[in-house]
Structure 1
Amino acid sequence: MRLGCIGDDFTGSSDLANTLAKGGMRVVQYTGIPDGPAAPWVEAGVVALKTRSIPVKEAVRQSLAALDWLRAQGCEQILFKYCSTFDSTPEGNIGPVADALAEALDARKVIVCPAFPGTGRSIYQGHLFVADRLLNECGMQNHPLTPMTDPDIRRWLAPQTRHRVGHVAAGDVFAGPERIAAALEAQDAAGHRLIVVDALRDADLVAIGAAAKGLPLITGGSGIAIGLPANFGCTPAPVPWQGQGGRAAVLSGSCSTATRAQVAHHAARHPAREIPAEEVIEGRLSAAEIADWILAQEGLPLAYSSADPAEVARVQERHGRAHAAETLEACFAEIARRLVAGGITRLITAGGETSGAVVEGLQLGTLDIGPEIDPGVPALRAGPDLVVALKSGNFGAVDFFEKADARLQGLP
């Protein structure tokens, strides 16, 4: 294994694996830290953790354990992958994990770049944009676990890290890899260990990737991987895929603006049932009841808990943020188990925490990477009779659920 990747969630980790596979690398995504060694043919290993919103110390512990496993596989470079909207709080977890990895690897000039132009995420003058909106104006300010209220990544990262935060501006990035490398050297000389790097186009990420050749540690969204396969002598290639027949279902737990639009679009065309969070938390609605409803439907049924931000805030205030989140995630995990036991062979999920709960609930050990459905979301094979799509809340076109099911079946 040459490139080792540590992801803080399952949806973004699958996107990262897809990006590397499209770049020509032989990739496997692991759900959690494997018990044994990787297969000898694996060039890039993606260890997907669920550390985005857990306590800082536990996130650091799990990330360092993943690093130990990846280094034991012979990795020459480590990539720490987080969300392209930099989901975190003033306490972490991005900064503390990046610090711990940097210290373990004795890494300096650590790139911080959540940009992903293909999904509208760009960084200019250190500020993160989602399409034409600043991060704190795109809906992420209402995220139930990691509300993003400041678009300046330098300012948001500063209280999370023990190190000074630097910046490589767009002018240097546009000038190409040599200029980026020189700017990183200058920032390092000025005492900045974590360095935010601007990026507005895929070409910028390619240039940043070239400048990162030989660095022990890189951090960013999955887009940062666009330029990395070439550093290992790989060239882009089609990703093979065998479609899966059978029955399908959709589970959505994201409250993002994009997912709520997708839910509304799908509910107007297919069977759909809302999962009121308060009913689940208070024990008035069970996973078994929801799973039985889905299994009784024809077509592509959807079960969703994607309320508007004000309703989510009210439920959290009444029941506690952590308790509400844990109860809903446990519900989705149990629904998924019952659906697969009931014959579902194609499962589509929306929301990072929801997808993580489903993957853990089904105990999916490794995921084989398939073709891209929409930017940031690949098809995944979880077993001989099960394929999945794990969508981050903000990703995908309005008809994503229908597109995902078609691609999982092997249709164009």
Structure 2
Amino acid sequence: MLLGCIGDDFTGSSDLGNTLTKGGMRCAQYVGVPKGPAASDVEAGIVALKSRSIPVADAVSLSLEALDWLRDQGCHQFLFKYCSTFDSTAEGNIGPVAEALADALAAEKVIVCPAFPATGRSVFQGHLFVGDRLLNESGMENHPLTPMTDPDIRRWLGHQIDGTVGHVPSAIVAGGPEAVREALQRAQDSGNRLIVADAIHDSDLVTLGQAADGLPLLTGGSGIAIGLPDVFRNKRLLSESGGTWAGQTGPVAVLSGSCSKATRAQIARHQASNPSREVAADDVMSGAATAQDLADWALSKSGIPLVYTSADPSEVRAAQDRHGSEATATAIEALFAETARLLVQGGTTRLITAGGETSGAVVEGLSLDRLEIGPEIDPGVPVMRAGPDLVLALKSGNFGGPDFFAKAAATLEGT
């Protein structure tokens, strides 16, 4: 294994797998820390954790466990992958995990770059933009678990770590890999270990990947990996033997727990021509909504049935006020996990999920351990094979075009 990756959720990990697979690396995504060794043909291994919103100490412990396993596989370099909207609270978990990984690897000059231009995420002057809006004006300020109220990644990261944060501005990134290496060294000389790097184009991410050649650790969204396959390719380390993909026919269903603007627009588009069923948070908490009922409903419908709890943020906040945010999130995740299990048990072969926490709950509920990365549906979202008769699409809330659900169903089928 050449590249060892640790993802803080399942959709983000599949996003990273999509980037690396398109770059020509043989990639496998693992659900949690594997118990045994990786297959010998895996060039990039991604350990997908559900660590984005758990207590900081637990996130650090899980990430270090994943690092130990990846080190045992002989990796040359390590990547900590988090969301391109830097989803975290002022306490963590991105900063504490990055510092712990850096400590374990004795790593300095650690790049921090959540940019992903293909999906509208860019970093300029240390500030994160979503399209032409600053992060805190993009809708992410309403996220129910990790509201992003400050677009300055340097300042937000500074709340989370013990050290100070450096910065490599876009003018230096535009100067090429050597200019970036010199800037990283200056930042280290000034006492900074974690260093936010600007990136507004894919070419900037390629430059950062080249500049990180020889560094043990880098961090970012999946975009930071765009240039890494070529770094390994130029060293003649890649096998260049890509895998094959075959689609899967059979019943399909969609489960959505994301409250993002993008997902709610996708739901509105989809339900105009497909069966849909909204599940209110109050019904989840009272037990009025059951997994068996939801699975039976979806299995009885033709088309692409959709079950969703993706309410307006104000409704979500009201439900959290009534029942507690953690209790509400836990109950919804458990409902979706059991619904997914019953859907697959009932014959569903194509399953689409929206939302990082929802996707993580579904993958854990299905007791999956490894996912094969297939073709891209939309930027950042690949199809994935979970078994001989089951394929998945795990979508981050903010990703995908307006007709994502229909497009995903077709791509999963191979059409």
TM-score bracket relative to the smaller structure: over 0.9
**Whole-angstrom distance in 2 between the partners of 1:146 and 1:235:** 40
Deviations 1:7-60, CA, capped at 9 Å, x for gaps: 000001001011111111111000000000011111110000000000000000
Please, what TM-score do these two structures have when normalized by structure 2? 0.98
> Is 1:351 paired with 2:355?
yes
Name the CA distance, whole Å, in 2 between partners of 1:6 and 1:284. Answer: 37
Equivalent residue, structure 1, for 2:283: 279
Q: Aligned partners of 1:240 and 1:38: how far apart in 2?
A: 19
- Residues 353-403 of structure 1, C-alpha deviations (whole Å, 9 max, x = no match): 000000000011100000000000000000000000000000000000000
How far apart, in 1, do the equivalents of 2:253 and 2:31 lie? 22
Tell me the equivalent position of 2:162: 162
1:60, 1:243 → 2: CA distance?
37
Q: Give the corresponding residue for 1:325.
A: 329
Partners of 1:207 and 1:193 in 2: how far apart? 19
Q: What are the equivalent positions in structure 2 for 1:67-146 lying under 5 Å apart?
A: 67-146=67-146
For 2:312, the equivalent position in structure 1 comes to: 308
- On the 8 A contact 2:14/2:394 being kept in 1, the answer is yes
- Is the contact made by 1:23 and 1:235 (CA closer than 8 Å) also made in structure 2? no
2:26/2:243 contact within 8 Å kept: no
Of the candidates 289, 293, 297, which is equivalent to residue 293 of structure 2? 289
The more displaced of 279-288 and 229-238 is: 229-238
Q: For 1:169-204, what per-residue CA distance to the aligned partner results, in whole angstroms no more than 9, with x for missing partners?
A: 000011111111111111111111100000001010
Give secondary structure in 2 for the equivalent of 1:379: strand
Judge conservation of contact 2:135–2:150 (CA < 8 Å) in 1.
Answer: yes
> Against the structure 1 CA distance between its residues 239 and 153, is the aligned structure 2 distance closer, same or farther, given a 3 Å change threshold?
farther
Task: Give, as a single letter, the amino acid of the residue that structure 2 aligns with 1:194.
Answer: L
Assess, with a 3 A threshold, how the Cα gap between structure 1 residues 48 and 157 changes in structure 2: closer, same or farther: same
Alpha-carbon contact 1:168-1:197 (below 8 Å) kept: yes
Q: 1:371 aligns with which of 368, 375, 388?
A: 375
1:297-328 deviations in Å (ceiling 9; x for gaps): 01110000000000000000110010000000
Counterpart in 2 of 1:342? 346
Identity of aligned residues (%): 67
Q: Which runs of 5+ in 1 are unaligned?
A: none
| Counterparts in 2 of 1:84 and 1:360: CA distance versus 1, 3 Å | same
**Structure 2: how far apart are the matches of 1:107 and 1:314?**
44
1:126-145 per-position Cα deviation (integer Å, ceiling 9, x unaligned): 00000010000000000000
Aligned amino acid, residue 333 of structure 2: E
**Residues 233-252 of structure 1: matches in 2 within 5 Å?**
233=233, 234=238, 240-252=244-256
Q: Distance in 2 between matches of 1:185 and 1:405?
A: 47
- In the alignment, which residue of structure 1 is the partner of 2:189? 189
Aligned residues: CA RMSD:
1.0
Partner secondary structure for residue 274 of structure 2: coil
Unpaired runs of at least 5, structure 2: none
Any residues of structure 2 matched to 1:213-232 within 5 Å, and which?
Answer: 213-232=213-232
Q: Amino acid of the residue matched to residue 290 of structure 2? A: S
CA–CA separation in structure 2 for the residues paired with 1:7 and 1:356: 11
Matched residues in 2 for 1:240 and 1:309: separation?
Answer: 41
Aligned to 1:409: 413
CA distance in 2, matches of 1:183, 1:235: 33
The count of residues paired between Structure 1 and Structure 2 equals 411
User: Aligned residue for 1:65?
Assistant: 65
- 1:237 to partner: Cα distance: 8.5
Q: Secondary structure at the match of 1:68?
A: helix
Measured against aligned partners, the alpha-carbon deviations of 1:215-237 in whole angstroms (never above 9, x if no partner) come to 00000001100011111114988
Aligned amino acid, residue 220 of structure 1: G
- Using the alignment, how far apart are the partners of 2:22 and 2:250 within structure 1? 27
Query: What CA deviation, in whole Å up to 9, does each residue of 1:250-283 have, x standing for no partner?
Result: 0000000000000000001100000111101111
Distance in 2 (CA, whole Å) between partners of 1:361 and 1:10 is: 13
Match of 1:17 in 2: 17
Q: Once the 2 structures are TM-superposed, how far is the Cα of residue 284 of structure 1 from its aligned partner?
A: 1.4
The separation in 1 between residues aligned to 2:109 and 2:99, in whole angstroms, is: 12
Query: Secondary structure of 2:78's match?
Result: strand
Is 225-234 or 117-126 further displaced after alignment?
225-234
Q: 1:112 to 1:274 in 2, by over 3 A?
A: same
Partner of residue 152, structure 1: 152
> How far does residue 240 in structure 1 lie from its aligned partner after superposition?
2.9
Deviation readout 1:61-114 (Å, 9 max, x if unpaired): 000000000000101111000000000001000000001000000000000000
1:393 is aligned to 2:390: no
